[in-house]
Amino acid sequence: MKFIIHLFVLELFILSNTCNVTATVLSKNYDKVNLETPKKNHYCSPMDAILSRQSVRDYTSEPVATEQVSMILKAGFAAPSAMGSRPWHFLAIDDRTVLGNLAGLHSYAGMLRLAPFAVLICGDRSLEVIADKFEQNCSAATENILIAATALGLGSVWVGIYPDEGLMKKFREALNIPEKIFPFAIVPIGYPKKSLSPRESYIPERVHMNRW
């Protein structure tokens, strides 16, 4: 339990560098988080980003800045992984033609036609220190990317690919991905076309202390 708590605190510390806040300030204002959608060019706190994150499927045509792309990718690499192996590759995509083609490969990826940018998260079993953990590792990286996008005032959505063999084959062929690499998920990213209403996701009835 202590290990999990330490990992979570480390995650918040890493994100705080991106969001321009400190873990100390965060801890003092834990019960005063802002659930409003982050504004453009405004870096929100880690807790605000986590609690305000929503799936966004409609974007403006404004491009995602190079600096934002860099921060999003760094956040992905900062995710926890088994034995610190980071068994993933990120394919950053901003080519409109490529994004449009990928939208046609997946029944739930139509928003790629609108998104100015996307990250394809791929698993690489050859990089694993502990076998068969890349799904958990790639999930952590994907979540970090989603939270970082929210912290930067951007919208995003998790579009799953793995473990559908047919989808993985389509993405491999479309993007020249080696057979040993597993396309795990693709995350379209862009500025939300409309402001999102705050929502409360916390369900206290599903929290169990010490025992069920």
Mean pLDDT computed over every residue of the chain? 85
Say yes or no to pLDDT of 83 above 80. yes
CA 102, CA 192: separation in Å to the nearest integer? 20
Spatial CA neighbour of 72 closest among 201, 168, 182, 190: 190
CATH class of 54-194: alpha beta
Q: What is the pLDDT of residues 134-150, one digit of tens each?
A: 899 999 999 999 999 99
The model's pTM: 0.81
Would you list the domain boundaries of the chain?
Answer: 54-194
Say yes or no to pLDDT of 30 above 80. no
| Type of residue at 127 | L
**Cβ count near 135 (within 10 Å):** 13
